Structure 1
C-alpha cells in the first residue's frame, strides 16, 4: 500500500563542490539552505541584502549590484528613530542615515564581486504579492512598518515574474557565462494573504520559473515547494504556525538537494564536517576525562586531514578545540 506521493528529481548535469563560490538571494528559505552550506564549509555569500520575497525586488538588487549603482541619501528614509531603505531587509536599519548607506554600499560591492566570480547562484522566490508605494508607484522589498495607507497591494502576473527572472538570468550570464543558476519556490505558506491568494501567488511563481528553466541551459529548477506540498504533504511537517516547514522537513529537502547537486565525494566530505560540528557542540559529563580528551584529539586530527586534503578553513574550530584539549 502506498500512503504518499513521491517523485524522482533528476540529477543535475552540474555538481557543486567545496571549491565553488555560491551566492544565495531570496526568501527566508534561502537563509535555511544557504546557512547549511556555510556551516558545511562551502564558500557562500548568503542573502546579503537580507530576506527578499519577490522577483522584482531581487531583480532590482541584482541589476543595481551588477551596474554598481550605489545607494544615495534619496534611498534612505526615516520612521521614528530608525533609518531604512525600502529596497532591502530591516537588518540594514540603523539610527543614522550614514550608517545605513555605508552598510548598503559595502554590501553592494560584495555582491558585485560575488556575481562576477560565483559558480552557483541560488534564487528562492516566496510570493507574487508585492507592496507598491502610492506616492512613487515603486515596488518595495520591505514595508519597514510604515503605515499601510502608504502602499497598494499588488499581485504580480506570471509574465511580470518571468520578466524579472529573465532579466536576472540574462544580465548575470552576460558577465559570468559559466555561472549555474538554481531556482526554487519557497514552501513557506503566505496564508496571511489568504489560502486562495497564496496558491495563486505560488502558481504564478512556478509557471515563471518553469518557463525560465526551458529558456536557459544554465538554469536548473529545484522543487523545494513540491517536496513539501506533494511528497511530505502533512501538517506534521509544519511548525506550530502552520506556515514554516519544520526542521525535519528542511532536512528532507536538504537531503534531496544533496542527491541532486553533490558528487559522492562531496557527500563524504559533508558527512565528515557534520561529525566535526556535532563534536564541537557535544557537552560531555566530564570534559577532562580520558575518553573525552581522546574524542577531542580525534576531532582535531579529522580537521587537519580535511584542511590538508580540501584546503578548507577550520581556524575557528581549531581554536575552540585548543581551549578544550588539555594537552595543547
Structure 2
C-alpha cells in the first residue's frame, strides 16, 4: 500500500518543464560566411543577427517537446501550424511556405546490419524538418541516426558556400539526406543480390519469410524516399521562392540524384516481387520432386507387401506351398520386381 500511494502521488505531481536548451544540439551565428566565436542561446543569437542587420542563425534541435518547440517558434516567429508537425514528426515529405519562411520535411533512413535470413528491421527511418528564412535556419531532427554535425562542419569549412545564407544550409541538409538514400539503397541492393544468388542456387533451402521481410523494408524505404521528389523539384525550379539562384542550381542537382535513387528503389520492389514468385515456384518444384520420390518408393514397397499379403492368407491349396524352392522363388520374384521398378523410376528421373 505505501508503494501505491507513493506512485499515485508521483503521478499527480506537475511535470517540470524541460529547458529549451536541452533540445538544442548546436546554435551558431554566421556572418559573411563565417561563424562568430562564442556560445549563443537561441534568443541571443536571434537578437545578434537582427541587431547587426546581416548574417543568419542556425539552430539544430533534436526531439523537442511542445514547450521547447513553442519557445523556438516564438523567438523566430514560426507559424503555429508547423509547431505541432515539428513535435509529432511522422510527416510525409513536403514543402510549405509561410510568407518568407520555407518548411521542408524529409524522411531519413538508415541501414541496420543484420543476418541474411533474420526476420528483423533492415531500414530504420526518422525525420528532419528545415525551417529556412532570410535570417535563420532551424533544423528539427527526429531519430538517432540522422545527426547533422558533419553537415555543419563541412559547411563551416566552406565560407564561400555559407555566403549564400540559409539557403546553403537547406541545400546541404537536403544533399546529405539524399546521399544517405543512395548509401542505404546500395546496401539493400547487396541483400537482394545475395538473396537472388541463394534462390537460384541448386538444392538450396529458400526462406520465403526473409524475402517478404526484405520486400516490406523496401516498401518502407520507397515511402520515405519517393515523396521527396516534388519538394525538390519545386525548390529547384520555382524562381519565386526566397532562395538565391545559385542555390536553386545546386538543388536541381540534388533532385537529379534523388530521381536516380528513387528509380533504383522502385526496381528493387519489382525484383523482389519476381524473386518471391521464383522462390514459390522453386518450392513447388521441390515439393513435386519429393512427392514423386515418395510415390516411387511406395510403389516399390507395394510389391513385397502384395506378395507377403497373398501368402499370408493361410489357404491350404496355394501354389508352391509344399515345394522346397517355393519360398526362395517368391522372394526372388519380389526382388526382381522391386529392382525393375527402381531402375524404371531412375531412368525417368523420379529417383
TM-score band w.r.t. shorter chain: under 0.3
TM-score, with length taken from structure 1 = 0.19
Q: Return the index of the structure with the highest Cα Rg.
A: 2
